[in-house]
Amino acid sequence: MATAERGARGWSRGWWGGARPVPSPNFGPRPPGEAVTLVVVHSISLPPGHYGGDAIERLFTNRLDWDAHPYYQRIRGLQVSAHFLIRRDGRRLQFVSCDDRAWHAGVSSWRGREQCNDWSIGVELEGLEGGTFTRAQYRSLVTLLAALARRYPIADVAGHEHVAPGRKADPGPGFDWAALRDALARHRAFAHREPPTLAA
């Protein structure tokens, strides 16, 4: 692979140089020939409302101590992942290659297509479902979406609540879709192409 492809903001086998790699075992292959056209935005905090610890990383890498907090009993044994996590300060972590299928959306459907994990990229924002997110997170998310759109035919960005309505409600009403739409429209990556369509 060319040196530029492996640059600080480049790609190597679905891993992006703009995020710290934290490989998760919770992934599988995408169906052959499946194009990645959707980004699903989630929110997560462990325990709920607590920020900055390593519990999310431990959950996604199957190393969470289920006895470390009473809430963890409710999710004991859960094996999930996402491609990316954006911390409150904007730092990005990547758990699964974008060429692979992360376990983030579960039972889901978007625009009449089911099994969103097969053709989507999952991005977790550190935050409480229904709560607000930081300016640093929005800036970081825009940078990430621009990088994804350069490599994959991303057409849509939706919340977990949109692909699994009635079952999931994240990121919730605190997420500012209008601000994200405006920021994407201003980003240089979309100067000569349409930005992805947002669900809200």
Catalytic machinery residues: 124
- DSSP 3-state assignment of 34? coil
H-helix or E-strand spanning residue 56: helix 55-60
Contact 45, 69 (CB under 8 A): no
Q: Looking at this protein, which amino acid is placed at residue 41?
A: V
User: Nearest 10 degrees: CA dihedral of 105, 110, 116, 118?
Assistant: -170
Here the tokens at position 166 are: 């009635």
User: Cα dist. 140→24, 122, 143, 166 in Å?
Assistant: 21, 15, 5, 28
H-helix or E-strand spanning residue 142: helix 135-151
How many CB atoms are located within 10 Å of the residue 7 CB?
12
